[in-house]
Amino acid sequence: MAKKKANEIAPVPERASRARQRQRLIDACISALHIHGPSRTTVEKVVALADMSPGIVRFYFDSKDAMLVASLAYLASEFEERVMVPVSQLKATPVKALQQLVELYLDPEIASPRKVSVWYSFWGEASSRQEYLELCGKKDEDFAALVLDLIERMIAQTGQTHLDADGVALGLIGVLEVLWQGIAFTHEAQIDRDAAKRRSIAFLRSVFPGQFAAPARVAASGNGAQAVPASVPAWAYSNSALLAVERDRLFRPSWQLVGHEADIPRVGDYLTADLAGERVLVVRTAPAKILAFRNSCRKRPHALLMERSGHLTDTIGCAAHELVYGLDGKLRTGATAGDLIPLELELPGKFILVRALAGRNAEPASTALLEIAGAPSGDWESLADLKPAGSSDLVVAADWKLMVEQWLEALPRPKGTRRAFLTPNQLLEVNASGAVVLQVVPESPGRCRIRRLDYSSARRKTPSPGEVPAWLQQDIDVAQSMQAGLAAGMDAAAESAGPISEQLQEFRAGIAVLLPLAQGA
């Protein structure tokens, strides 16, 4: 075989060597930018980090600025290849695409303190350097367009046409940007990426209920402290804007217990409930059929029925506007926008649960109970033989979240008692004689109402309105004391000292993700 000439084989290893040297300089330049920023990054500092001679820089770059731009271009290209392209390939399944987006956006290879700080340092000089502005601006525009496309697909898939796609997309970008800012000024060893991903998914889940899996359980770190200190600022316990967001994002998509089938035994019997701003009307329309509607006139937003319970003949009327609806909610007479608005209803274990808003694949009521205090998971069907034994209301001078936090602290309870929690605001306590359901409903910022529903396995005296179990009174006293402390400026009162339960941690994290929405209101 004829011997190949040297110039036929030399270019390949030579080109590879040059590419490696150029990349070595870019990597060193990124490290220098991270340490010194663009203005104080010099060729000397770069080559010192690269362990190369100053003269070699001129071989690859015309100037220091050209080297800086090449470093930013490398980061932009890396972001496109490792984040934009994989996510774009999942557009047909927007839930998976958004989950992948969060995963990749916060991946340590992309969101390292070193690289993120470079993005922000370049952005700080973008107004005076056109080439920086073009690169940073192009990345941001492309990313924003991708997120908007995915949110529009989510809205179309879930039918939530009332949502503003641009606003939701901007909210998600804002959440990710805030997390990036935190990474830029944090040592890698101190970054909890799992917590950041949970918070991002919690935002998406708050907008599209049922579409995104709940955050994974948070394990304790090796030193015994919780991995994610999910605290809530003091202002969040008395803020009207946050309360409005909570009602829309937490309460309306959640299952709320209205009563029991035995509360409405005859056709025409009804129950009403006011659940965090959603008026509910439940009617037995046939011996084996129960329906739920919004308890609101279609002409003007006032309650059609004011009593907690009662009996209807065969119609539901609004005398003020001369409207008549059938028990099935269909308009019979009168001029108005249409029929009564139906609400989703389920009957696990003969309990009546209703929710106003549900996304596709939302969790059914039968599996929505969460175990707490080390108790077995709640099972509605195991309570099917219980009968209503009375109800009462308690007014509490504390924010609803403080009451829930007391319940999720997993404090010791009497032996033989097991507990389950129905997110975001209902406690089920079961003992040998029956069960108690406690619903904490926000009345106003810093105040709430607890509706107590008693169920018994045998006939017993209905609890009097003033009868409050000692443990519940203690929880109320603590919550009211904390509310007073927060009002007095004792910010630390909102945080627990030492490790807290996983459920409480997740609850606070779910509230924390709503805070930007309230602050922007």
Which residue segment(s) compose the domain that 283 sits in? 256-363
Element housing 348 (H / E) = none
Contact 347, 290 (CB under 8 A): yes
CATH number at residue 279: 2.102.10.10
Give which of 228, 242, 219 is closest to 399, Cα–Cα. Answer: 242
| Residue finishing a domain among 170, 190, 207 | 207
CA distance 251 to 269: 26
Contacts of 226 (CB under 8 A, 6+ apart): 218, 220, 499, 500, 505
Closest to 176 (Cα-Cα) out of 154, 147, 152: 147
Instruction: For residues 513 and 378, state if they share a domain.
Output: yes
User: Are 300 and 429 in the same domain?
Assistant: no
The pLDDT tens digits for 194-219 are: 888 888 888 898 888 777 765 444 33
Q: How many domains does the chain divide into?
A: 3
| In-domain check, residue 248 | no
Contact predicate 428/422, CB 8 Å: yes
CA-based nearest residue to 455, from 473, 431, 439: 431
Q: Does any domain span residue 505?
A: yes
The answer to the question of residue 228 being in a domain is: no
Q: Using an 8 Å Cβ cutoff, are 399 and 467 in contact?
A: no
Residue 273: inside a domain: yes
Rounded Cα gap, residues 209 and 421, in angstroms: 18
Is 407 contained in some domain? yes
47-93 per-position pLDDT tens digit: 777 677 777 777 777 777 777 777 778 888 888 888 889 999 998 88
Residue 245 placed within a domain: no
Same domain as 378, residue 467: yes
Q: What is the mean pLDDT of each run of 10 residues along the chain (521 residues)?
A: 44 60 79 72 77 75 77 81 90 90 87 75 59 70 91 88 90 87 71 84 84 50 38 87 88 89 95 87 95 87 88 88 89 82 89 76 63 52 83 92 87 71 88 87 93 79 62 89 81 52 82 79 49
Query: What CATH number is given to the structural domain containing 116?
Result: 1.10.357.10
In a domain, 247, yes or no: no
